[in-house]
């Protein structure tokens, strides 16, 4: 249970602890997170993606860079993440800006994916209009023929993004809706200012 009087000094350590607990209660998709992006004029969009890496550098997910989210992040590099672990009565909100992962990181993760998922990254024109499902299936078959073995290169339009946090909020459900909300805001010196919010 969260110690509401003594929040951790390091938000990354606190997140790692909460994520470890989340996996014990949601073993399938504890790493599912809502990713919010927006257009340059401020129109928002959100969708669920999977967290694939987290450390003191930030929070990583992978996608087609020509997808709607990829295009929005290209135009506006600010993003927000939201984790919700209902069995634990917890949420984590993260706000910051994004950068691309290195090619080596993207290559390594792409190689770890199931073969059909790697082929799908070539076959799918993510977020584009699909006239009929059969077109996707034909494109998948074409790439299966083109890459019959396990050696499938990473498409140039498929990579990862790292969300570099500037703000965290750790939300813990408490009785009578008197929830505990702990915030971490990045300081000018790179450290973290810790605070509380009314529920």
Residue-level length of the chain: 199
181 has pLDDT over 70: yes
Residues paired with residue 153 on neighbouring β-strands, in sequence order: none
Percent of the chain with pLDDT over 70: 97
- What amino acid positions are annotated as catalytic residues? 177
Contacts of 181 (CB under 8 A, 6+ apart): 169, 170, 171, 172, 196, 197, 198, 199
Residue 5: the pLDDT is 61
Sorted by sequence, the CB contacts under 8 Å of residue 144 that are 6+ apart come out as 119
Structural domains of the chain sorted by starting position, each given as residue range(s) with its CATH number in brackets: 11-110+162-197 (2.30.110.10)
- The tens digit of pLDDT for each residue in 39-49 reads 999 999 999 99
Distance CA 162, CA 73 (A): 11
Tens-place pLDDT, residues 57-104:
999 999 999 999 999 999 999 999 999 999 999 999 999 999 999 999
Task: Give the pLDDT score at 32.
Answer: 98
DSSP string, the chain: ---SSS--S-HHHHHHHHHHHHHHH-TTTTTEEEEEEE-TT--EEEEEEE--EEETTEEEEEEETTSHHHHHHHH--EEEEEEEEGGGTEEEEEEEEEEEPPHHHHHHHHHHS-HHHHHHHHH--TTS--S-HHHHHHHHHHHHHHS-SS--PPPTTEEEEEEEEEEEEEEE--GGG--EEEEEEE-TTS-EEEEEE--
pLDDT tens for residues 122-137?
A: 999 999 999 999 999 9
Q: Which two tokens stand for residue 112?
A: 């770890």
């Amino acid at each position: 249970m969260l110690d509401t009087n003594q929040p951790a000094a390091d938000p990354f350590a606190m997140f790692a602890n909460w994520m470890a607990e989340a996996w014990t209660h949601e073993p399938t998709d504890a790493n599912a997170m809502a990713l919010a992006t927006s257009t340059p004029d401020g129109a928002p969009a959100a969708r669920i993606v999977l967290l694939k890496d987290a450390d003191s550098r930030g929070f990583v997910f992978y996608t087609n860079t020509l997808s709607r989210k990829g295009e929005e992040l290209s135009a506006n590099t600010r993003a927000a993440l939201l984790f919700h672990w209902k069995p634990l009565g917890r949420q984590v909100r993260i706000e910051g800006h994004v950068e691309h992962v290195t090619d080596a990181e993207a290559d390594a993760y792409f190689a770890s994916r199931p073969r059909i998922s790697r082929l799908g990254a070539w076959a799918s024109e993510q977020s584009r209009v699909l006239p009929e499902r059969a077109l996707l299936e034909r494109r998948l078959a074409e790439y299966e023929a083109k890459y019959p073995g396990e050696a499938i290169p990473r498409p140039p339009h498929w990579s990862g993004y790292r969300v570099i946090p500037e703000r965290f909020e750790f939300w813990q459900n408490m009785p009578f809706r008197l929830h505990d909300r702990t915030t971490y805001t990045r300081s000018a010196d790179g450290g973290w200012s810790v605070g509380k919010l009314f529920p």
